Chain A
Amino acid sequence: MKAIATWILVVAMVLTTANAVSAKGDDFNSVVRMIEQFYRVKHVGIPFLAKTGMKVGTTVARIKGGQARRIAEAGSIKLAVFEDQDFNGDFTKFRASLNEAMNATWMPLIQTLSGQDEEQVYIFLRDAGDKINVLVITIEQRDATVVQVTLSPKNLALLLKDPEGTGKAITQEATINDQE
């Protein structure tokens, strides 16, 4: 009886530690909600974006059939866009909350904050077997985007060599204007 009780206690202690670092559900949606709550803004849905002239990368990938050089794996793009809204708030507090929330499952690669333009860029990585998930969050004065993509090892090398430039390219690729 004593031995069983002891091991129950040991297992409980280990499980408590494991739970503290376990994954947190759908992080893409959590990040979108976090931005909405922190800045009191609302993101624009994809059907609305398509109507107003912006198409998501998954559509472009299907049309171009891989002719254009792509960074993200076809069909892997998740996108949320916030347009023409005020992103007023203490970005250092937002950054701290974001890092705390992402810490369990995502690896922060690079974070840049520009006081002049009030632009924040966060790039997180997550292992996805042979490939890697990348989450790029860009917040500017009036707009923001959250993009999640899957990268091949080749394109991950690009990202690691030039995190800032490739991160911007991922966001640009995910939000391609219809008029190009």
Chain B
Amino acid sequence: MKPLFHINIRTALIAALLVFAPVLSAKAQDSRIQMSSLDHLAAKASQTIDVNIDQRLMLLAAKVFDDKDEDERQIKKLITGLKGVYVKSFEFETEGQYAAADIETIRTQLRGPGWTRLVNVTSKKDGMLEVYLLFNGDAVGGMAVLHTDDKELTVVNIVGPVDVDKLAKLEGQLGIPDLGIQSPKNKTKNEQ
């Protein structure tokens, strides 16, 4: 008598694909950075903001923004093609509430292949601003912004084709905090 559960390799592979396909597709969003390592800071923070606009919500947003409304048309244009917007922001009452190791968990990811730091982007706000772009060949696949101050830590991660101008226009919309981003072009314009 043959064993009841004798599985050949092909069938096992199909089964494995069926089971793990959702997991694999989720991993494909490589410009999504993991920010859950910062969650513990919520207990120390005076204000925590956590925004999650994933691809499902992005598609929904693109549908609901009305072309007849100038403001909404602009936002719709800006978010077209984006796959997600994720924000974690912490404000603290006193200095020294977050450690260098906390920021390092984010920076480590941004040292990965494809990520490039833009050195010429500044902020009107106090503190340090770091802007990183993920390049997939020539195309931009995503962006990460790290804003740190003595009493503040903000990480913004935009998944999909985005540039600094787009980010600057999206500030204050979709839960993205106002980081006072000044792109090189804007800066030159202001200086003139």
> Interface of A with B (CB < 8 Å)?
1-2, 5-6, 9-10, 13-14, 17, 90-92, 95, 107-116, 125, 127, 132, 153-154, 156-157, 160-164
Contacts and interface: CB of A to CB of B under 8 A. Distances in A.
Interface size class of B (residues with CB under 8 A): 35 or more
Contact of A163 (B7, B15, B51, B93): B51
B35 interface: no
Given A109-B175, A156-B60, A10 B4 contact: no
A6 B53 CA distance: 40
Say whether chain A's binding surface is mostly helix, strand, loop, or mixed: helix
B50 A157 contact: no
B174 A10 contact: no
A108 B84 CA distance: 12
Interface of B: 2, 4-8, 11, 14-15, 18-19, 22, 39-40, 42-54, 56-57, 60-61, 63-66, 71-72, 75, 93, 173-175
Say whether chain B's binding surface is mostly helix, strand, loop, or mixed: mixed
A113 to B, nearest CB: 4
A92 B7 CA distance: 45
Contact of A125 (B8, B39, B57, B175): B57
B51 A109 contact: yes
A2 B46 contact: no
